[in-house]
Amino acid sequence: MSNTSRRRWPLLLPPLLWQLTFFLLPLLFLFVISFWSVVNFRLEPDMTLKNWDFMLSRSSFWSAYGHTWALALGAAAVTTACSFPAACSLAFTVSERTRKLALMFLVVPFFTSYLVRVYSWQAFLADNGIVNALLSVVGIDGLPMLNSDFGSLVGYVTLALPLVTLVQTMGLAQIDRNLIEAAHNLRAGPVRTLFEVIMPLAKPSLVVGALFAFILAFGDFVAPTYLGGGAPPTLSNLIIDTTKSGQQWPRAAVVAIVMILTLVLTSLAAVRLAYGRRK
Amino acid sequence: MTQALVEIDRVSKRFGDYTAVTETSFSIGQGEFLAIMGSSGCGKTTMLRMLAGLEEPSAGEIRLEGCSQKGLPPWRRELPLVWQSLALFPFLSVLDNVGFGLKMRGVAKAERDRRSLAWLHKLELGEFASRNVMQLSGGQRQRVALARALVTEPKVLLLDEPLSALDAHLSVRMQALLRSLQRELGITFVYVTHSQTEAFSMADRVVIMSRGKVEQIGSPQAIYRHPANRFVAEFIGNVTILRGSVAEAGDQAIRLNTATGGMSVSRGNFAGAHGAQADFYVNADQIAIGDEPRHENHVRARFLSHKFIGNMVTLFLEVPGIDDDLKVILPERTYDCLGVQPGDSVVASWPAAAAHFFGGTA
Amino acid sequence: MMSGNGMLKIGRWFGWAYTGYTFLFILAPIAASLVFSFNADRFPSLPLKGFTTDWYGGTFTDPLVIEAFQRSVMVSIPVALLSTILGFCAAYCDFRFEFRGKSLFGLLMLLPPTIPAVIMGLGMLSYLSRINLAGEVWAVLISHVVIALPFAMAMIRLRLAQMDAALEEASWNLRASPAQTLWHVVLPFCKQSLVAAFLITAAVSFDEFAVAWFVSGLNETVPVRVLVFLQGQVSPVINAIGTAVFTSSILLVAIGMGFSGMGKAKRAAADSPAQPAGGAVTNNGLSL
């Protein structure tokens, strides 16, 4: 109908203007200030490449980049592997009622502060913490877990596991049961069915889940700081340090843009991997 | 015909490359029960939605009491529609559903409730007024949807396959209700359906549509006895279509040569010259079956199969030289007395008055 | 040699046990924080030292914490209101209208939660300080609406997808203008999801710490205060705050679920009508 275009503006404009003004513009502004300079702790409009030059020429930046990449990739792999058996179990071996209840429990962590959970993990992972106390009962001596990459990974998994399990379970539950029965009927055993039928069908949800884990871990600063010990720093740590000490917002903006580019490229690659080869 | 209330004037509707309705014209009279019938995709629902203003015609014009409805949005029209899905508001009580249209016209609550309740009582739903519509049965919801559309006392009511979701028994009861309501209120019903039974049992006139075009408009009787063309004949399905060349033209009947011999067909206003090819049809319920021919047109045929519909039997006969089966409809008692079995050889015969040319009657 | 069925059975039990451990992993930190919030020992370690409510007492008499709570409530309610309204507008536009750039519009609406909070924080800080809003409560409010709006939009859009398209047409047909239809038909239809969106977005705002930390200046919200405690030394106060916030969030969510649960109960009642005498109940009728 011709009059729909007039009717949609009052509804379309408020959210559109809001997100343009307070979401897109701030992100674009980051790009702009990456060319500005800081004079006497004050931001001055400028057109200089020295922030880019300063950050990209330092080996500490690139080691932080590599460290963040490795941690995020590790988090994606570990989270995906850890949640897959549980997702299979929830998707195929329980009633729909139980599955809904379980999915509800998976949502619970979204309502607890991530900070509080990370603080709680400190109590588990500390040298004289709960895990080591339990290990000493079976005669294993104290393992260093806090302030290591292992600590960071525990934090990332805490952050991403509920979401990834949710995505995987929903993906697996959508698989047509007849296909699985057909595989059994054609003499594929449970293990072969898993690898030759279920995994290919579940690929989109597996990849999307892994992507979520990657994105969450890539941007998180809490786990690497309070469970990983903050050294070597991740890119998020770098942004915080650069911003909070010395007011070097333009340099922090450079890091932020590199992070966004990395995430966009990774997401595109993941979406291609998940859906690309269908046709 | 009575005075035209709604005029549909050379209306077309295109959706992108797809043409749903092509240059269609007809008018609907005051107080008429008009059924628009056709199979899915024939344009009948698009026609109805254009009347309600939910689609704007791509070309042509619709007039209500002589006033063009062009550009008038649905919320400024007085053409309430009863949806196939009913489209009752699930968050409102039965009473508030019925009163919705009155509320939008600014009728005060007390008056609104009084009028809505009166309609609910009329349709035997008075006791459910405060219920949620989701708590009602299918037939009850149907009547709520009717009350909601009729409470504003419109001149025309549009109905889009309202009975297709009901079981047969309930559908028959609703048909009787609709018919008596329409008579009593004296308003115009425009009823879209794919069901021949519904259209023929309720409507004063039936519009048969196919691929966006009107194939025939007429009373149920006229359409049943005299289909205008091959499409309508096949759609109604109560005749067998044959073909022949004109051999001899008489005053009452025309003699044709067909693949199974000479046949006489009612002349009507047929004007084909000698030797011209012509299609004609034979009414299935005017054919006699026996061992000997009883009428002037007769063929020897093999009895293939039969099916029962109510107390009538349809027989399918194989006739050498004819592609289609010859269809014969007999009362069940007559069929029983014949004592024929599938596979038997029989003689089918019919008078010239049972055979007609398409479009042959005025 | 074990039969295939036996193997399946063992696999099944293994799966259940594993799933149990997964849930244990997810819930352990939450449970531990609850337990340690009542533990007399300052340091969160085993064995427990005895029961105390001192940490709660200390926490809720700390003027900084009280102020932070007040601020969080003051921010999260308008955030929830605004995000729900804007989220509804966006969801309805996506549902009802076709227009050029619609997929870009969707992307713009839904993308914020995928941007790392640190980057959002830095962007907001530098942008809002340019228009003299950084360090104000307003800055937290604005950023939180950006982050929470997508959640509201997604929830309301899901509900709209369940709406029979004929419902709006029926309303127009009964002479309700599009604006009246929105008010009398679409909003009532979405009521439960609007309430749920309000509660969820309030929880998102109440829980968000990273962007708030960047832009709030001295106006700390509860999670920012927790972050400051975390940067300090070991503090059982974190457990006390965490447990309190968790309990109230769960309560809110339970209320929210109750709303949608009530809807479900109503629908269940509709599936078994009180008056079967009327004839067959059609699925085609109004199975919303």
- Residue A43 located in a structural domain: no
Query: Do the domain assignments include residue A143?
Result: yes
Assign a CATH topology to domain B238-357. Answer: OB fold (Dihydrolipoamide Acetyltransferase, E2P) (2.40.50)
- For C25-31, what is the mean pLDDT? 87
Helix %, strand %, coil % for chain C, to 5?
A: 75, 0, 25
Give the distance from residue C216's alpha carbon to the nearest chain A alpha carbon, in angstroms: 13
What pLDDT shows up at residue C281?
32
Kindly report, residue by residue over C151-196, the tens digit of the pLDDT: 999 999 999 999 998 999 999 999 999 999 999 999 999 998 999 8
What is the average per-residue pLDDT within B7-25? 93
Give residue C107's identity as a one-letter amino acid code: L
Q: Do B56 and A2 touch (CB under 8 A)?
A: yes
Q: Tell me, yes or no, whether C85 lies in a domain.
A: yes
Q: Which of residues 43-102 of A touch C (CB under 8 A)?
A: 43, 82-83, 85-86, 88-90, 93-94, 102
| A45 is a domain residue | no
Helix locations, chain A, DSSP H: 4-19, 25-33, 50-56, 59-92, 96-107, 114-125, 130-137, 149-173, 177-185, 190-193, 199-219, 222-226, 235-244, 249-275
At residue C269 the predicted structure's pLDDT band, cuts being 50, 70 and 90, is: very low
- Sheet strands (E) in B4-44: 4-15, 18-29, 33-37
pLDDT value at B28 more than 90 = yes
Please report, for the domain that includes residue A222, its CATH number: 1.10.3720.10
- For residue C224, give the CATH number of its domain: 1.10.3720.10
Band of residue C2 on the pLDDT scale cut at 50, 70, 90: very low
Q: Which residues of C fall within a CB distance of 8 Å from B80? A: 173-174
What is the total count of domains within chain A?
Answer: 1
Which residues of chain C does B164 touch, with a Cβ-Cβ cutoff of 8 Å? 284
Size (chain A), residues? 279
CATH class in words for B4-230: alpha beta
Domain boundaries, chain B: 4-230, 238-357
Q: Which residue of C has its CA nearest to A129?
A: C45
How far is it, in rounded angstroms, from Cα A18 to Cα A263? 24
Looking at the domain assignment, is residue C101 inside a domain? yes
Q: Could you tell me if residue C195 is inside a domain?
A: yes
| Mean pLDDT, chain C, integer | 82
Note whether residue C105 is domain-resident.
yes
- C168: tokens are 């709006």
**What interface predicted TM-score (ipTM) does this complex get?**
0.88
Residue C19: alpha-carbon gap to chain centroid: 25
Predicted confidence at residue B361, as pLDDT, reads 52
* A33 within some domain: no
Asked if the structure places residue A90 within a domain, the reply is: yes
Interface check C280 vs B, CB under 8 A: yes
- C-alpha distance from residue B37 to each of B9, B208, B212, B217, B233 (Å): 19, 5, 12, 10, 14
Whether residue C111 lies inside any domain: the answer is yes
Evaluate whether residue C281 is within a structural domain: no
Tokens of A240: 């915080």
Domain coverage including residue C187: 54-242
Q: How many domains does chain C have?
A: 1
Strands B277-283 and B355-357, by their bridges, are: antiparallel
Identify whether the C-beta of residue B36 lies closer than 8 Å to the C-beta of residue B209.
yes
Greater confidence (A189 vs B182) lies with B182
On chain A, the residues whose CB falls within 8 A of the CB of C165 are none
Distance in Å, alpha carbon of A156 to nearest chain C alpha carbon: 12
Cβ neighbours, 10 Å, residue B262: 13
Inside any domain, residue C187: yes
Summary mean pLDDT of chain B: 90
DSSP assignment string, C23-47? HHHHHHHHHHHHHHTTBSSSS--SS
Has residue C110 been placed in a domain? yes
| SS3 assignment, position B146 | helix
Instruction: Show the domain range for A92.
Output: 76-228
Which of B81, B90, B100 shows the shortest C-beta gap to C288?
Answer: B90
Domains B4-230 and B238-357 share a fold: no
- Residues C174, B80: C-beta atoms closer than 8 Å: yes
